């Protein structure tokens, strides 16, 4: 295998190999010399639109123009509407929403929640479902079940593919795969994963006590506990021991400097995008305008990167966030986007 960051090539040996790469499953199988049809899926694209605040504290379900169910629901500090379901034949590494898909969702929700038409959309996100292959049915009728494929019949003893499934059933799917491996590796041992808390879930942390200990706002402390559980105490140590580490970098979520430093040091975050995925930095109403540059500086300090690399990370993240907004912005927001771009490029020093 080749490590993407260092470009180093490494070779590993194992008794069993599990192909759990989602929509990339057939490609991964093919790289291992297994015909892609042995791990066949029918990729289905789905998108969501993100709004700048909670438009409702309740989930709302509506029928779209073609009879599919779409929804509006509060999620963290924002609201989302979704989702589409279309066969996808494009590049799996470049999946983006289109304005047509956005209009489809807005039209459906507007039938029961008309104010969605004037709400401020701040972005979109898109993904591809690794739906189990079936020829003929429309996308919405495809099974959402999951399947474990033993590739011994394809001449690849000890190789398995995990196909299909949804996020809602990820732990069940993982247990079924683990049980299959345990049958050979440790027969007779009972599964205990359902008895073991996920990391950070060992006990309940009082966010108000934490807020007082690290001298931050109760809201910031509650978000820390929500995202990290008991590991919020480790973040609190950084906040107490390192100067200014309890400073809020991203006011929209909010995200503290101590939290950024923690995920870089302990959770493998190597870029602004990695930090964002773990902490939601830059995913609020400002779209990263207020926090991207400072986060890039912190990541660069922790990883001993050059100022040029820091600026490149900030620019890449900011531009990626801007791309997610393009399908939802109107005329007024488009003018604002141009102003934002010029301001950020001036800050990055990338305009001549």
Phi-psi region of 229 (alpha: psi -120 to 50; beta: other; left: phi over 0): left
Of 42, 71, 271, which is closest to residue 140 (Cα–Cα)? 42
Whether 310 shows a pLDDT value over 60: the answer reads: yes
**Lowest-confidence segment of 174-178, 319-323, 339-343 by average pLDDT:** 339-343
Is residue 1 pLDDT above 60, yes or no?
Answer: yes
Phi/psi for 344 (5° steps) reads: -70, -40
Scored b (16 or more CB within 10 A) or e, 11-32 reads eeeeeebbbbbbbbbbebbeee
Calculate mean pLDDT across residues 291-301.
95
Which string of DSSP letters, residue by residue, matches 77-90? TEEEEE---EE--S
Q: Domains of the chain by range and CATH? A: 17-41+141-195 (no CATH), 44-129 (3.30.9.10), 207-348 (1.10.8)
| pLDDT tens for each residue of 128-156 | 999 999 898 888 888 889 999 999 999 99
CA nearest to 205, candidates 195, 218, 193, 194:
218
pLDDT, tens digit (0-9, with 9 covering 90-100), for 177-205: 999 999 999 988 888 888 889 899 999 99
* The pair of three-digit structure tokens given for residue 338, joined into one six-digit string: 């141009």
Average pLDDT, the chain: 91
Token pair 């196909």 in the structure block, residue: 163
Rounded Cα gap, residues 321 and 219, in angstroms = 25
Q: What confidence category does residue 2 fall into, taking pLDDT thresholds of 50, 70 and 90? A: confident
User: With the C-alpha atoms ordered 95, 97, 101, 106, is the resulting torsion angle positive or negative?
Assistant: positive
Q: How confident is the model at residue 235 (pLDDT cuts 50, 70, 90)?
A: very high
pTM over 0.85: yes
Average pLDDT over residues 290-316: 94
Cβ distance 296 to 272 under 8 Å? yes
**What pLDDT does 350 receive?**
67
Q: Residue 236 has what pLDDT?
A: 93
pLDDT digits (tens, 9 = 90+) for 15-31: 999 999 999 999 999 98
Q: How far apart are CA 314 and CA 291, in angstroms?
A: 9
Average pLDDT over residues 113-128: 94
């Amino acid at each position: 295998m080749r490590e993407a960051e260092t470009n180093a090539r490494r070779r590993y040996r194992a008794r069993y190999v599990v192909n759990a790469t989602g929509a990339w499953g057939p490609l991964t199988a093919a790289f291992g010399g297994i015909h892609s049809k042995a791990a066949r899926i029918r990729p289905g694209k789905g998108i969501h639109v993100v709004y700048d605040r909670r438009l409702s504290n309740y989930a709302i379900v509506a029928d779209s123009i073609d009879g599919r169910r779409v929804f509006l629901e509060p999620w963290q500090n924002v609201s989302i509407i979704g989702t589409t379901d279309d066969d996808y034949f494009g590049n799996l590494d470049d999946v983006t929403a289109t304005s047509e898909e956005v209009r489809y969702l807005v039209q459906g929700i507007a039938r029961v929640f008309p104010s969605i038409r004037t709400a401020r959309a701040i972005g979109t996100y898109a993904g591809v479902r690794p739906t189990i292959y079936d020829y003929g049915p429309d996308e919405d009728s495809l099974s959402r079940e999951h399947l474990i494929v033993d590739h011994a019949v394809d001449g690849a003893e000890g190789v398995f593919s995990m196909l299909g499934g949804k996020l809602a059933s990820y732990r069940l799917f993982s247990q079924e795969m683990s049980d299959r491996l345990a049958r050979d590796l440790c027969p007779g041992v009972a599964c205990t994963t359902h008895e073991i808390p996920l990391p950070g879930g060992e006990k309940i942390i009082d966010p108000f006590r934490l807020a007082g200990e690290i001298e931050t706002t109760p809201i910031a402390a509650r978000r820390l506990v929500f995202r990290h559980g008991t590991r919020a105490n480790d973040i609190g140590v950084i906040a107490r021991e390192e100067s200014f580490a309890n400073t809020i970098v991203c006011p929209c979520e909010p995200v503290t400097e101590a939290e950024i430093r923690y995920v870089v040091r302990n959770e493998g975050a190597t870029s602004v995008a990695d930090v964002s995925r773990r902490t939601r930095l830059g995913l609020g109403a400002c779209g990263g305008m207020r926090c991207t540059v400072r986060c890039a500086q912190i990541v660069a300090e922790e990883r001993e990167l050059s100022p040029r690399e820091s600026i490149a990370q900030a620019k890449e993240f900011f531009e990626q966030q801007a791309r997610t907004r393009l399908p939802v912005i109107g005329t007024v927001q488009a003018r604002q986007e141009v102003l934002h771009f010029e301001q950020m490029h001036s800050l990055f020093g990338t305009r001549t």
